[in-house]
Amino acid sequence: MKVLIADDHPLFRSALSQAVKQCLDSPVLETVGSFEELSDILKRTSDLDLLLLDLNMPGARGYSALVHARSVAPALPVIVVSAYEDAGVARAALDHGAAGFIPKSASPETMAHAIDTVLAGDRWAPEAVDEVANSDNEFTDKLALLTPQQQRVLVMLTDGLLNKQIAIDLDISEATVKAHITAILRKLGVHTRTQAVIAARSLEIDWASYGRSSPGAPSNSEH
């Protein structure tokens, strides 16, 4: 079995590696620490059996990395492993295509059981998730059509950056930025930047409603 662990924190990559080894016989493990690395390995590797994914990685926003993974490798089971343990976050992760959701506070035994359950073809999530209504993921399928670079541009639009600022940050021309925006609008079926931003926010996690700070200001307990 070949398992990919996507988490920017070495301590949790190690913990997840141990959990995988606990339930699989001599697994082949690969690890990445950013959305860019995740996108690259998904593009060049077709024999993965499982992806363990942290939502809060450099280059990712909300559920964007999950949506991208599901679009690039739709047959690959994805288990979200997150420090944001509210049942609403877990429910939305499942609605966006995850096969499982494991809180980072879970014991190694629980992690191993969850991995075993998903690899057997079932879903696994904390029991509290069953009490949460399905989230509104109307734009998920359309957002999955965006390339990784288009996703980055869309995140920057959501942050209010101008074309010139996006071009500088991504080291591309303003003409290329405009081409990306045109493609984003077409794929999302919208006509303006504002409508595209509204679509992007369907992938956002409302951190405040879960009593957490934003990913840009993590608490000491997140990792």
Within 47-197, strands assigned E span: 50-53, 78-82, 100-103
**pLDDT per position in the chain (223 positions), as tens?**
999 999 999 988 988 898 899 888 899 999 999 988 998 999 888 899 999 999 888 888 778 888 888 888 889 999 999 888 778 888 888 888 899 999 988 888 898 899 999 999 999 988 877 655 555 555 666 777 788 788 788 878 888 899 999 999 889 999 999 999 999 999 888 899 988 887 777 666 543 333 334 443 333 333 3
Q: How far apart are alpha carbons 69 and 23 in whole angstroms? A: 23
Q: How far apart are alpha carbons 99 and 118 in whole angstroms? A: 6
Residue 101 · residue 131 · CB < 8 Å: no
Residues paired with 103 in a beta bridge: 82
Q: How far apart are alpha carbons 43 and 26 in whole angstroms? A: 24
77: which 2 tokens? 């089971």
Structural domains in the chain, CATH included, are: 2-131 (3.40.50.2300), 140-203 (1.10.10.10)
What 3-state class would DSSP assign to 165? helix
| pLDDT digit string, tens, across residues 94-153 | 888 899 999 988 888 898 899 999 999 999 988 877 655 555 555 666 777 788 788 788
Put simply, whether the predicted model's pTM sits higher than 0.75 gets the answer no
153: which 2 tokens? 């541009």
Torsion on CA atoms 210, 212, 214, 219, rounded to nearest 10: -160
